[in-house]
Structures are given as C-alpha cells and as structure tokens.
Amino acid sequence: MPDKSVPIETQPARVPAQANSAFYNDPRFRAFIYQGLLVVGVVALFWWLASNAQQNLAAQNKQTGFAFLDQPAGFGISFSLIPFDRASSYLQVYFVGILNTLLVASIGIVLATMLGFVIGIARLSSNFLIRQFAAIYVETIRNMPLLLQLLFWYFLMLNALPAVRNAITLPFGIALHQRGLNLPALVPDDRFIFLAVAIVVAVIAGLVFRRWSLKQIENTGRRRPVWLPMLAIIIVPIFLVYFISGTRIAFDFPELRGFNFRGGFTAPPELTALVLGLVVYTAAFIAEIVRAGIQSVSHGQTEAASALGLKEGDRLRLVIVPQAMRVIIPPLTSQYLNLTKNSSLGAAIGFPELVNVYVGTALNQSGRAIEIIGMAMLVYLTFSLTTSIVMNWYNSRVALVER
Amino acid sequence: MTDTTVFVRSQMEPAALPPKRSTGLVAWLRTNLFATPGDTAMTIIAMLFVAWLVPPLWQFLVTDAVWSDPEGLRGEACRFEGVGACWVFIQGRFNFFIYGFYPVDQIWRVNVMFLLGIIFILPLLVPRAPFKRTAAVMFFLVYPVVAYFLMAGGVFGLRPVPTNFWGGLTLTLIISLIGIIASTPIGILLALGRQSKLPIIKAFCVGFIELWRAVPLITVLFMASVMFPLFMPQGVSVDNLARAIVGIILFESAYMAEVVRGGLQAMPRGQYEAAYALGLNKPKTMGLIILPQALKHVIPGIVNTFIALFKDTSLVSIIGIFELLNTVRAAGSDINWSSPTHAVTGYIFAGFVFWVFCFAMSRYSIYMERRLHTGHKR
C-alpha cells in the first residue's frame, strides 16, 4: 500500500502509438477514401453512360425530351376508363395505363385478401380435408410462375368458356362467356348524390360511435351493446334519405340481345383472366402470411385471456387478432405491392395496363425509350414509396403500442 | 350459522369410463373429420368438391388423353370431339422443350453440361458428402466457365452455337443458375453496405435496393432490352440474353439484399462486441462471426428468393428469349400440332416442370433449416 500522503506517480495515459500506425489505417481516412472511390465510380459510370447515350441518339437522329407527350398517339386502346380515341395524346395513353393498372390492382387486392384469409384460416382448420385442400392449393399455386398461370387462365377464358349464346348466367344478369364477364352496373340518377353523401356520413358516424362505445366499455368496465346500435346508426339514415329524397336506384342489367350482351359493365376476357390469375396467385402467398401470423401468437395468450375471464369474441378481438395483425400487416402490404407490380404481366395477355400500352405500344411508336421507361418506373416508384411511408408510420404506431 | 359445511370429499369418485375410442381409424375420423356438426358439414362439402373435381380431371388427364401416336399423325391424333390432354404433343416436341433450337447433333454438349452440373452440385447438397470445398470451388468458379464454353463452343473444335439457338428448360436453368450465383454475393454486399455507418455508401445501397424493388421485373427487362443498347458505346453490341441476365441479376440482388439485411438485423450486438473483444477486425468479424449466423437465420428467405428468381426467368419470354415457357408457347402455335387441347397440355407440362423444381427447392430448404437448427435450442 502506498502512503496516502505521497501522490502516486501516475503513468501517462498511453496515447495511441501513432508512430507505427500508418495514416491509411485511420478509420476516418479509410471512410473518406472508400466513399470517395464510390462517388467517383458512380459519377464516372453515369457520365460514361450518358455520353454513350448522347452519341447513340445523335447517330440515330433521334430527338429527346417530353414534347412528344402532346402529340396524338394514333392507336386505339381496347379498354379504358376515361374517354380515349386515336386522336388522344401520349399523355392520355399514360393516364389510361395508370388507371387500368390501378383498377386491376384495387379489384385484385380486395379479392386476394378475402380468398387469402379464407385459405390461411383453412390451413389451420381442425378438419383434415379442409386443411389438406388449403395446403395443396398453396403448394401448387406458389410453385408455378405467375406468367404461366396468366397464360393458362387466359387460354381457358378464350377456349373453355362457352360462346356468348350459351353463356354461363348467374342471377342479376351476371354472365360469363368467351368475350368476358358481364356485371350489372349502377345507374345513378340526379338525386343519387344525396344518397351517396348519406352513406358516407352514416358509415363515418357508425364508426365513430363504435369507437366511442368501445372506449366507454374500457373506461367503465360495463358492457353495452356496440354492434346493433352501430348498424342502426348506419342503416336508418341511409333508408330515410333514400325515401325522402326519392332517389331511384336503377341497375343496368346485362341482357343478351342479338349476338352480344348489352348493358351493364363488361370486363373483357383479358381483364377477367388477369384479375383471376393475380387473385389466385397472390391469395396463396397471403394465406401463408395469415397462417404464420396466427401461429405466431402463442397458445399461452389464448389461455391467459380465458383465465382473465374474457369471452370468446373479446379474446379474439382484444388479444389474438391485434397480435397476429402486427405480424401479418407488413408482409401483407408488400404482397399488395407485389400484386400491383405483377399486374404489369397483363402485357403478356394483352390487357392495356401501363406497361402494355405505354412501355409497349407508345414506346414502339414514339421511340422515346429513356423518357417512357423512366416515366413508367416513376409510377411504380411512387406506389412503392407511398406504401413504405404508410408502412413506416404503421410500424412506429404498432411499436409504441407494444411496450 | 353454526353448522360448518365441509367441502372435502370423503369417498372416492368412481373412475370415469375410458374414452370410447381414442385411437384407431374411427377415432381419427371423429377428431379430424366429424368432430362437430359444422365439421361434418364441411367434410361433406369437401367430399362433394372432390367428387365434382377429380373425375373430370382424371378423365381429361388420363382416360380421354392421347398417349401415343404410332402413325405419326401429330396434331391430327388429338383432333377429335371430347379429346383429353394431348400428351403426344409433349412427346413429339420434348427435345424442343428441353434444348430449344440447339442443333440436334450437338445436344450431347448440353447433356454433358447437365451431367457435370449434377456431379459438382451433389457434394454440396448432400450434407455428409466429402470434398465440400473442392466441389464448391468447382461449382461456383470452374463450372460456369466450362459450361459456357460447352454451350457456346468455339474452342477445342466445338462448333460455335450462338445464344439465340439456346432455349427450353436448358436456358431456364442457365439463367436461374447465373442469377443465383451472381445475385447472392451482390445482395450480401448491398446488405452490408446498407448497414454501414458511412453515409454515402449507405445512401447508395439504400437507393439501389429501393429502386429495383419498386419496379416490376418486366420494366427492368424492357429497360435491358430497349435502353441498354443506347447506353453502350457505338459499335458495341451486347447479346440479348446477356442483357436480360444482367437485368435479372440487378433485380434479384436487391431482393437478396433485403433478405440478408433481415438476418443481419437479427444479430444481437453482443456478437459484434464479442468478436471485437477477441481482436478480430471488421472483415473477419463479418466473415467469421456475423455472416455465418445471419445467413443461417435467413435460409428460408434466401431459398424463397431463389424460387422467385427461378419463376421470374419465365418473364424473359416477353422480350423474345426462348426459355421453357416460350418454347411451349411457340410450339403451341405450330400449325402441324394444332388441336383443341395441345396448347393447354403444353401449359400443364411447363407448369409441372416449374413446380417440380420449385417444390424440390422449398422442401430442401425446410430440410436444411431443420438440420442447421442447432444453436437456437436452449
């Protein structure tokens, strides 16, 4: 023990031995060099590519720029949600493409979610047959390329379905035949706007009421009816508005007249096959996500919830589903995004979505490869970035709830 | 209340009867098919579904199908009312589906390539097989070169065969193999870059990954086939197939990077700290400690990416490359074979081939996952 009064002679702190550590071992120097090399490399690559492109375009006497967007496209599009004819501009082709892509994606997402959840739950069924069917479905569909499935469905649409005269007819004038699928369409009259507003307001009011009463239950611990009053809040005003305003809801039912169906909404076989293929394919992936999500909630959670005395419905609503959804929703959204991107395969069966009409036909006619592919990629990039922003928001919200 | 109630049993309860049948067929049926009335109803519906689906399917695929064509009628053999699957179409065009337009007298070269591939890959797939390291070097480094020269020719007196003669299942396998071999290391590098602390490298990797993941493969392929030539120096022309493969590699490496990133993020910090405490530098920490564990974690994801890549190769048919699906389509429009069902038989055949490969991959990955699932058992 050294004497306390004598200050201990401390050794000087060891400075990093700079003599034998060369400057190139300094992490900061290395960071600088690595990143500098990357920047130089990327810039050089882009510069090289751009100068090549410039030379090539000059040699081929091609113009660049977006002036072509105003020019008339000069070709027809078989299916369009907005008015389109040969005189329409390339910009309108672009919008027709985007709208058709969105149409396929939105129908596909709704149907694929429904089918996927049903099959995912069926995979966990206690019934042997149902379980096996779901497993066979998933393993068959997941392991074949989507393009092949689309071609298959499209082929069946055109060849295995009956001709228009012998169409498979269902109630409400729904008819399925070689030339597509006929669905009834809603024909709004001039007072329909009142009803539409009433529906929106009533649904919002119903949801607000549900939220409020669930909160009341949580705060007071006293049960009160939720579902029936909510339904009443939604349905009663709608009917009142319907009768008071005197709106007449008319449906335009498809009818076989002569050689074709008239009236209603006609989905061409391309659209039907594309939606069918996308739904069948994506549902297999969604089913696996749902199964994994449900299985990820350990059985102890169910038991703990019953031990707390929760009823079956509350057990699912308050304990199991929220935890499963946290696992399900992120991959589910990426499946939605996949479905949207996969709708571009409609190009292979001739459905006029973005890639088909814009990257295909419009590019061939105008020759503006760089501009057109860039614009098409921009659309998908926007979808993707929007989704990931929403997902990040959701993830942060769920993470806060967690602990 | 003076009398006390005692809640203690004084006598033994008589033993409950044994459950009626808890084993055997009947019990199995009872628990798995007829547990509740609802269950019974579902079972009956499912059985009706089987009865509705299977007999016509069997009829189409087997009894009504045309299995042989002794007179060489080709399409005519299947041209009658109520014909089932036209299997003679598959038999007749089998070589085309497998080898594409490859010259018939040179097909032995493709077969040699397949054989070599199987020889080199088997030691890698069978866990107990010896010569792992040699086989890995051979398969990943030597084999691609040998296979390329076998296919393309032009050396050792082999006749040159340009890539537009390659096709069929051979081409599907070639594209997916190159895609897998190239996109895995690129994906790992991108994932490491995304985890990096250096801001520019990180931004570059994030941008690269997000760009390719955002767009559909088909636009990437269009880009490769239409835009790529514009960006090359004048006079340099890159083979159509090579352009498509570059597109696939860029696209799939971004997906691979995200899978690997999942594994890297699952690594606890303690692993890094322990490695540094042992005095390992960054590359050694990554190569010896982090990556082996992280990759093991994400084997299912990696194999899923492989499967997706294998399925995605079918998209190159859209830019006019004759891989399996496109050969089936092309043969389907052959006038000599035209019949009511030959095209759909072709799709069924192609679907089955794709299914066999993908299903095998997914089963193998499950098997591997079980084998490697050692360290996490506590």
Structural domain containing residue B265: 161-324+350-372
pLDDT value at position B378? 40
Q: Is residue A396 part of a domain?
A: yes
Single-letter code of the amino acid located at A26: D
Q: How far is B193 from chain A (nearest CA, A)?
A: 11
Please give the Cα distance from B14 to B11 (Å, whole number).
9
CATH of the domain at A278: 1.10.3720.10
**Interfacial A residues in 146-175 facing B (CB < 8 Å):** 146-149, 151-152, 155-156, 159
The two tokens of residue A396 are 């942060």
Indicate the number of domains in chain B: 1
CA distance B104 to chain A (A): 27
CB contact under 8 A, B42 and A130: yes
Mean pLDDT of all residues belonging to chain A: 83
Q: Across the interface, which of A34, A139, A148 has its CB nearest the CB of B354?
A: A148
- Taking only the tens place, the pLDDT of each residue in A191-217 is 777 788 888 999 999 999 988 988 888
* Residue A42 touches chain B, beta carbons under 8 Å: yes
Task: Classify A184 in phi/psi space as left (phi over 0), alpha (psi -120 to 50) or beta.
Answer: beta
Q: Which of B218, B317, B344 sits opposite A355 (nearest CB)?
A: B218
Select the residue of A129, A345, A370 nearest B227 (Cβ to Cβ): A370
CB of A121 within 8 Å of any CB in chain B?
A: no
Backbone phi, psi, residue A35, to 5°: -70, -40
H runs (alpha helix) in B196-227: 199-214, 217-222
Inspect the interface and report whether the beta carbons of B358 and A355 lie closer than 8 Å. Answer: no
pLDDT of residue A403: 41
Q: Which pLDDT tens digit goes with each residue over B288-308?
A: 988 988 888 888 888 989 999
From B35, B198, B214, residue closest to A35, measured CB to CB: B198
DSSP string, B49-107: HHHHHHHHHHIIIIISSB---TT--GGGGG-STT---BHHHHHHTHHHHHHTT--GGGH
A residues 58-97 lying closer than 8 A (beta carbon) to B: 59
pLDDT at A402: 46
Cβ contacts of A383 on chain B, cutoff 8 Å: 214
Residue B95's pLDDT band, with cuts at 50, 70 and 90, is confident
Report pLDDT for B147.
Answer: 87
User: Residues B92, B68: contact at Cβ < 8 Å?
Assistant: no
Residues of chain A contacting B324 with CB distance shorter than 8 Å:
none
The per-residue pLDDT for range A38-70, each reduced to its tens digit, is 899 999 999 998 888 888 888 877 777 777 777
Asked if A17 is an interface residue toward chain B (Cβ–Cβ < 8 A), one would say no
Strands A255-257 and A260-262: antiparallel
CB contact under 8 A, B344 and A156: yes
Region A268-294: mean pLDDT is 92
Q: What are phi and psi of A298, to 5 degrees?
A: -70, 155
Is residue B281 assigned to a domain?
yes
The DSSP result for B141-197, as a single string, is IIHHHHHHHHHH--STTPPP--GGG--HHHHHHHHHHHHHHHHHHHHHHHHHHHH-S
For residue A30, which of B289, B196, B187 has the smallest C-alpha distance? Answer: B196
Residue A147, phi then psi, degrees to nearest 5: -60, -45
> Cβ of B46 and A144 within 8 Å?
no
Q: How far apart are CA B111 and CA B150, in angstroms?
A: 10
Query: Closest by alpha carbon to A108, among A350, A308, A274?
Result: A274
A381: which chain B residues are within 8 Å (Cβ-Cβ)? 211, 214-215
Give the separation between CA B324 and CA A147, rounded to whole angstroms: 12
**How many CB atoms sit inside 10 A of residue B98's CB?**
22
How many CB contacts within 8 angstroms connect chain A with chain B? 154
- pLDDT at residue B6 tops 80: no
Instruction: Give the model confidence (pLDDT) of A138-151 as tens digits.
Output: 999 999 999 999 99
User: Tens of pLDDT along B215-249?
Assistant: 999 999 988 888 888 888 877 778 888 889 999 99
Least confident of A20-34, A242-256, A272-286, B294-308: A242-256
**pLDDT at A14 exceeding the cut of 80:** no
Q: Is the dihedral of CA B216, B221, B222, B224 positive or negative?
A: positive
Residue of A188, A186, A185, A187 lying closest to A265 (CA atoms): A185
Pair B244, A387: CB distance under 8 Å: no
In a domain, B240, yes or no: yes
Contact A281/A138 with Cβ under 8 angstroms? no
Residue B81 lies in a domain: no
Q: Test B33 with A140 for CB contact under 8 angstroms.
A: no
Six token digits for residue B103 = 């010259």
State the DSSP H helix or E strand holding residue A169, giving kind and residue range, or none if neither. Answer: strand A168-169
Distance between CA atoms of residues B144 and B181, nearest Å: 9
By residue range, what is the domain housing residue A342? 90-189+248-402
With b for 16 or more beta-carbon neighbours within 10 A and e for fewer, the B225-252 pattern comes to bbbbbbbbeeeeeeebbebbbbbbbbbb
C-alpha B88/C-alpha B72 separation (Å) is: 10
Nearest Cα residue in chain B from A57: B230
Cα distance between residue A148 and residue B323, in whole Å = 12
Indicate whether B98 belongs to any domain: no
Q: How far apart are CA A322 and CA A316, in angstroms?
A: 8
Q: Do A139 and B307 touch (CB under 8 A)?
A: no
Q: What is the pLDDT of residue B189?
A: 92
Q: CATH number of the domain that B227 lies in?
A: 1.10.3720.10
Q: What local confidence, expressed as pLDDT, does residue B101 receive?
A: 86
CB atoms within 10 A of CB B294: 22
Residue range B330-334: average pLDDT? 85
The answer to whether the beta carbons of residues A275 and A104 sit under 8 Å apart is yes
Q: Does some domain include residue A96?
A: yes
Distances (CA, A) of B81 to B53, B59, B84, B88: 21, 14, 9, 17
Q: Are strands A175-177 and A168-169 parallel, antiparallel or unpaired?
A: antiparallel
In a domain, A376, yes or no: yes
What is the chain B residue with the closest CA to A34?
A: B201
Does a structural domain hold residue A394? yes
Please name the amino acid found at residue A329. Answer: I
**Which chain A residues contact residue B340 at CB under 8 A?**
159
Candidates B39, B200, B343; nearest CB to A35: B200
Distance (Å, rounded) from C-alpha B317 to C-alpha B329? 9
User: Is B180 among the domain residues?
Assistant: yes
Higher pLDDT residue, B371 or B171?
B171
> Cβ A143–B204 below 8 Å, yes or no?
no
pLDDT at B236: 76
State which amino acid sits at residue B206.
V
Contact across the interface for B325 and A133, Cβ inside 8 Å = no
Residues 6+ apart with CB under 8 A from B239: B163
C-beta atoms of B340 and A159 within 8 A: yes
- Quote the tokens at residue B175: 């594209």
**A113's tokens:** 């979610």
Nearest CA in chain A to B198: A31
Identity (one letter) of the amino acid at B259?
V
Residue B20 has pLDDT above 80, yes or no: no
Crossing angle (nearest 10°) for helices A369-402 and B199-214:
110
| Optimal mutation site among B50, B201, B222, B265, interface A, most CBs of chain A within 10 A | B222
| Chain B residues closer than 8 Å to A148 by CB | 314, 325, 347, 350-351, 354
The encoded tokens of residue B221 equal 């392929």
The half-sphere exposure of A175 on its side-chain side, counting CA atoms within 13 A, is 23
**Predicted ipTM?**
0.86
- The Cβ-side half-sphere exposure at A206, using a 13 Å CA radius, reads 18
Q: How many structural domains is chain A composed of?
A: 1
A175/chain B closest Cα distance in angstroms: 22
A397 inside domain: yes
Residues of chain A with Cβ-Cβ distance to B315 below 8 Å are 145, 147, 345
pLDDT confidence tier of residue B93, bands split at 50, 70 and 90: confident
**Does the beta carbon of A348 lie under 8 angstroms from any beta carbon of chain B?**
yes
The least confident of A244-253, A278-287, B39-48, B86-95 is A244-253
Q: List the helix and strand counts (H, then E) for chain B.
A: 18, 0
Q: Express the helix, strand and coil content of chain A in percent, nearest 5 each.
A: 70, 5, 25
CA–CA distances in Å: residue A155 to residues A95, A179, A269, B351: 28, 12, 10, 14
Q: Identify which of A127, A144, A348 has the shortest CB distance to residue B354.
A: A144
Tell me whether residue A373 is in a domain.
Answer: yes
